Chains A and B, each alone.
Chain A
């Protein structure tokens, strides 16, 4: 991996005024807000604490938006012709992907940590060490396909449509991943569609941390498969997208 390239990419992302807001402010605030809303509707005798149930969902949401928004930024440099300039360097499609995805991943580290802190400090959520790891670092790693997906959208989109595609994409992924509304409170077909989305498996992976998810190995493998397919598309596009626009 090329450190000079990675360092500048990371600096550029952090320089953007909105970045800190959505990697630190957004997910924590969302978590606390949702917790308040859900608590009022929660069956009093339920064994599960809403603060804990929302933890993987909101941590996943933070990872998902950070990865996708950071990835989609490549649209700007493509439109400016910078990507054509990069194509005149020995940077390969794989190197390009690694650099960009690494930045997306690094930026996705803080959101679940902020959510976890909010859960522990304000909602008295208690997990064992493995549980905390799942809802923070593991869920960040599981977010790789979203960083790559954002990248892919930025590689195909233009100034006019990228914003819309990203927003619609994030909402669709959130709904079928059960991020805002738990899927078991919706008609079963939501769950069936959910199986086909990476967001469902991201939350499933996180829920392993609160002992509510499925087999984390299975979720991890499905997310890996998503990553491989999307990464292949990104590399292909980088190699072929050199036309003037």
Chain B
């Protein structure tokens, strides 16, 4: 188990990690299994030691700032990027094999449309390559682009292109859908329409993992949120937990001679940041934390309690300063 993880929920199962130990039923139940995954590009460690298990039917948001390693993760899960080390299994299969079986559908971050083909030609071509594709028209309908079928891809807006790429991913009729920032470049209304079509897909019990920068998307459409920062999973929890995190408060105080372990030992503490004598504690229940803090550190000064939005909770978890890094890794 890596140190960087804030285990908000999701008790990890140390057994059954080796795929040879997975029974058939477990394979069907585990959509994605990633263990000890690492990838570096020169000096940049894009992904370092990530463990992640996604159950079939889960809708997981992969949240993280630019360069966190989201796309690298997605690329390794679909088998486009080979990890330096670690295991990736999709429904018990290595990525390439899962692709051959038509288990994976993916919408990658970058472009990927042909300039000299129409929408229906592209979706049709991809369909013709898969074993058990959806009818092309149905894929177009599900992506909400039926009326664009005969349009050349050069004549599509950014949002329309995204939905064509969604149709390309859907037409394989996959069990697992990976979406790398699927709504980038869409306005609010389009984004809603997009997630509406998405819900039709997840309603059938299929598994989805999507990378995003938008907290509200994660909150609204995911069952589970995984925070990635600097190539590590720093938090992983249900949407309810993330919500309660958002409902949390930040306590600030000046306490001489304070130490991080002492602060973390306080009840309901989610995160601690210390700069010299100044402490910022993210708490899921500020009343309890404050009482304990004052009784343990009666000399605490400048105490203040402020509410945090989801954004701040997110920032606290994903862009923590280096001061607390030592504790984390």
Q: How far does the alpha carbon of A137 sit from the alpha carbon of B105 in the complex, in Å?
A: 42
A90 and B125 contact, Cβ closer than 8 Å, known pairs A80-B111, A244-B110: no
Contacting residues, chain A, for B240 (C-beta < 8 A): none
Smallest beta-carbon distance B15→chain A, Å: 31
Question: Which residue in chain A gives the minimum CB-CB distance to B129?
Answer: A89
A2 and B128 contact, Cβ closer than 8 Å, known pairs A11-B121, A89-B172: yes
Interface residues of A in 1-59 (CB under 8 A from B): 2-5, 8, 11-12, 15-16
Q: Does B60 contact A (CB under 8 A)?
A: no
A12 CB contact (under 8 Å) in B99, B117, B127:
B117
Q: Are B81 and A243 in contact (CB under 8 A)?
A: yes
Interface residues of A in 75-106 (CB under 8 A from B): 76-77, 80-82, 84-91
Q: How far does the alpha carbon of A243 sit from the alpha carbon of B120 in the complex, in Å?
A: 27
Interface string of B52-73 (1 = CB under 8 A from A): 0000000000000000000100
Q: Does A161 contact B (CB under 8 A)?
A: no
Q: Does B131 contact A (CB under 8 A)?
A: yes
Contacting residues, chain A, for B100 (C-beta < 8 A): 90
Contacting residues, chain A, for B80 (C-beta < 8 A): 84, 87-88, 242-243
Could you jot down 6 A-B contacts, CB within 8 Å? A4-B125, A11-B117, A82-B114, A88-B80, A89-B99, A242-B80
Q: Does B130 contact A (CB under 8 A)?
A: yes
Q: Are B102 and A90 in contact (CB under 8 A)?
A: yes
Contacting residues, chain A, for B119 (C-beta < 8 A): none
Q: How far does the alpha carbon of A91 sit from the alpha carbon of B99 in the complex, in Å?
A: 9
Q: Are A84 and B116 in contact (CB under 8 A)?
A: no
Q: Are B129 and A82 in contact (CB under 8 A)?
A: no
Contacting residues, chain A, for B105 (C-beta < 8 A): 88
A77 CB contact (under 8 Å) in B71, B78, B109, B114:
B114
B168 CB contact (under 8 Å) in A3, A8, A80, A85:
A85
Interface residues of A in 212-245 (CB under 8 A from B): 242-244
Contacting residues, chain A, for B108 (C-beta < 8 A): 81, 84-85, 88
B81 CB contact (under 8 Å) in A82, A89, A90, A242:
A242
Contacting residues, chain A, for B75 (C-beta < 8 A): 242, 244
Interface residues of B in 97-141 (CB under 8 A from A): 99-102, 104-106, 108-117, 121-122, 124-131
* A-B contacts, CB under 8 A, total: 80
Q: Are B110 and A81 in contact (CB under 8 A)?
A: yes
Q: In the complex, which range does the number of interface residues on chain B fall in?
A: 35 or more
Most A CB atoms within 10 A — which of B71, B101, B113? B113
Q: Are B128 and A82 in contact (CB under 8 A)?
A: no
Q: How far does the alpha carbon of A8 sit from the alpha carbon of B128 in the complex, in Å?
A: 11
Contacting residues, chain A, for B127 (C-beta < 8 A): 4
Q: How far does the alpha carbon of A244 sit from the alpha carbon of B71 in the complex, in Å?
A: 10
Q: How far does the alpha carbon of A105 sit from the alpha carbon of B115 in the complex, in Å?
A: 23
Question: Which residue in chain A gives the minimum CB-CB distance to B121?
Answer: A8
Q: How far does the alpha carbon of A80 sit from the alpha carbon of B164 in the complex, in Å?
A: 15
Smallest beta-carbon distance A6→chain B, Å: 9
Smallest beta-carbon distance B233→chain A, Å: 22
Q: Are B126 and A89 in contact (CB under 8 A)?
A: yes
Q: Are A80 and B130 in contact (CB under 8 A)?
A: no
Q: How far does the alpha carbon of A16 sit from the alpha carbon of B81 in the complex, in Å?
A: 32
Q: How far does the alpha carbon of A244 sit from the alpha carbon of B115 in the complex, in Å?
A: 18
Q: How far does the alpha carbon of A4 sit from the alpha carbon of B123 in the complex, in Å?
A: 11
Q: Are A8 and B172 in contact (CB under 8 A)?
A: no
Q: How far does the alpha carbon of A56 sit from the alpha carbon of B66 in the complex, in Å?
A: 58
Contacting residues, chain B, for A243 (C-beta < 8 A): 80-81
Other A-B pairs, 6, CB within 8 Å; known A90-B101, A244-B75: A12-B116, A16-B116, A88-B80, A88-B105, A90-B100, A243-B81
B125 CB contact (under 8 Å) in A5, A81, A244:
A5
